[in-house]
Chain A
Amino acid sequence: MSTATAEPTRLDDPPAPRRKARRKGIRLQLVTTPLIVLAVVGLWKLYVELSGISPFVLPAPEDVAVAFVEQITTPAVWTEHIWTTFYETIAGFTIGIAVGTVLGFLMGRSPTLNRILGPFVITTQVVPKVALVPLFILWFGFGPSSKVMVAAMLSFFPILTNTAFGVRSVPAGMREMMRTVGASRWESFRKLDFPYTLAHILTAAEMAIILATIGAFVGEFLGGDKGLGRYAVNLQNNLQVPQLYGAIVIMALYGFALYASVSLVKRLLIPWHDSVVIQREAA
């Protein structure tokens, strides 16, 4: 029944071993990722050599590599295409976050609003979005605005549903605690609902940035003259196949970079969250 000391002292020096474990995890990734990429490229090369497949269908990896390097060293690719897509993605993502969180908090806290707005929100998602793109082009023109709207429409939905879910999951006990310490509704939102829900919003943001990217690409495929999506369509029309593959690599890296940035922001903003702690300790 009796313990030697009433005061456990397990916090005296916590962070050191954790950081070491994390560095080890990154080092492992630095080995596995290139190895797997190398293996895939090797198989690709082997297949091209052995099957005699037409270079218009599948060019050799080294041709794609040459095209890729040439592309990313061409300033116009950056200023015309990558920049345009980046602008559309980020603008659409920002609108998606703003609309999604505001509606999510409102619908999460108010069952009435949820019932009123719910059907319309769902409608925007069940209508095939690709079918709406021509309409958006009609409304917002061939410029970036129509793509921003597509990106926003795709990205706001996961933000909204996760925000609503998050704010509904705030433990009742914590809400009552805020009441008994005398917090107003606004303070309770600021100090409890918002920080609690932030974890849900940021998880949704990882998905939303990918959807915003897809939205921008799809918008560009269907109209306009700038952006990575349009660039790929042009290359295809000109039968510049290695360059088309190069463009796809650029798109993949582009999406990956955006995803990684959002993911990093998430880990920085909610270091306290169980999911982040577990990831950090396992890494």
Chain B
Amino acid sequence: MSAPAPLTETPAPAPAVRTRGLGKTFGAGDRAVAALRDIDLDITRGEFVTILGPSGCGKTTLLRILAGLADATAGEVSLFDDAGAGTGVGQATADGRISFVFQEPNLMPWRTVRRNVELPLEVRKVPAAQRRARATDLLDMVGLGQFHDAYPRELSGGMKQRVAIARALSYRPELLMMDEPFGALDAQTRDHMNAELQRIWMESGTTALLVTHHIPEAVFLADRVVVLTGRPGGIREIVDVDLPRPRPLSLLEDPDFVSRVARVRTLLGDR
């Protein structure tokens, strides 16, 4: 009883993601590539989970399966306890409960920054005034308050990615999945975005699942860090990060934090 963890008594935590024996093999026969094997993952609602693993180990593939963009070739997946292997996944996407930030920003070059952020709200038939207000808030939040009317080609790579994040947040998803969203950002902006992401996540109560190559980022954001093995990706270990929140950026120098980063680094190192 050393850490002052504010534990409220929760009856059986509600699951957001549950996979059992999930595997994925691309192609067949001689040319088959096993990308994922035997993934048993339980993510509770409201949790922040980050995924680390060597390049090509299947991180993107895992997120794509969870988002219903690809099918698993083995095992089962369910989201929000909707049961039904496979079917529940696509349905959650169609119902707008999931949001996905891709490795590439995928902005529409014919839309201004603001209208890119509004896109999911347009799809949901949200009235224009409300859309606009929401986009304004989100763009301020990601530090692009002055770029409402710019076109994507006028933005840097990191700025585009921030627009993509604002777009993904616009409809307040229950499960926010992000595939290396901050890869293109400079160190300072990245720190800032990490702090912001933590704040957004705490305020919104959404479940977050983030893939990254950046170990301190993974530890800073996560309740739990999932460390994957090399291809085919399996779970090497899941590291709990039981540090209190909100975590200040000064935590990056904290010995408790540094020791966890070192531990994850070791796990990634000895393949």
Contacts and interface: CB of A to CB of B under 8 A. Distances in A.
A6 B171 contact: no
A280 to B, nearest CB: 12
A180 B188 contact: no
A183 B125 CA distance: 11
A187 B186 contact: no
B69 A182 contact: no
Interface in A182-218: 182-183, 187, 191-192, 195-196
Given A173-B106, A176-B102, A270-B110, A191 B119 contact: yes
Interface in B158-179: 159, 167, 171
B120 A182 contact: yes
A233 B81 CA distance: 78
Contacts of A19: none
Contacts of B123: 181-183, 187, 191
Interface string B225-255: 0000000000000000000000000000000
B154 A174 contact: no
Given A177-B102, A181-B96, A181-B171, A6 B189 contact: yes
Contacts of A171: 106
Nearest to A269: B110
A182 B93 contact: yes
A11 B146 contact: yes
Interface residues of B, number: 37
B146 A180 contact: no
A157 to B, nearest CB: 26
A199 to B, nearest CB: 9
B119 A180 contact: no
B153 A177 contact: no
Contacts of B189: 6
B56 interface: no
A210 B153 CA distance: 32
B120 A6 contact: no
Contacts of A196: 110
Given A180-B69, A181-B123, A183-B123, A273 B109 contact: yes
Interface in A3-17: 3, 6-12, 14
B95 interface: yes
B42 interface: no
Interface residues of A, number: 31
A187 B124 CA distance: 10
A207 to B, nearest CB: 22
A195 B171 contact: no
A277 to B, nearest CB: 7
Contacts of A139: none
B207 interface: no
A10 B109 CA distance: 18
B93 A179 contact: yes
B26 to A, nearest CB: 15
A7 B143 contact: yes
A201 to B, nearest CB: 13
Nearest to B100: A180
Contacts of A7: 143
A191 B146 CA distance: 25
A1 interface: yes
B204 interface: no
B83 interface: no
Instruction: Tell which of A11, A180, A182 has the most Cβ of chain B within 10 Å.
Output: A180
Nearest to A182: B96
A15 B206 CA distance: 41
A279 interface: no
A176 B110 contact: no
A16 to B, nearest CB: 15
Contacts of B102: 173, 176-177
Contact of A180 (B98, B154, B186, B192): B98
Nearest to B144: A7
B186 A3 contact: yes
Given A180-B93, A183-B123, A3 B151 contact: no
9 closest A-B pairs (Cβ-Cβ)? A181-B120, A182-B96, A180-B100, A272-B110, A177-B106, A6-B189, A173-B106, A183-B123, A6-B188
Interface of B: 67-69, 93-96, 98-100, 102, 104, 106, 108-110, 119-120, 122-124, 143, 146-147, 150-151, 153-154, 156, 159, 167, 171, 186-189, 192
Given A11-B154, A173-B104, A180-B69, 13 more contacts: A2-B186, A2-B187, A6-B143, A7-B143, A177-B106, A179-B93, A180-B99, A181-B119, A182-B94, A182-B120, A182-B124, A182-B171, A195-B108
9 contacts: A10-B154, A176-B106, A180-B93, A181-B96, A181-B99, A181-B123, A182-B93, A182-B95, A187-B123
Interface of A: 1-3, 6-12, 14, 171, 173-174, 176-177, 179-183, 187, 191-192, 195-196, 270, 272-274, 277
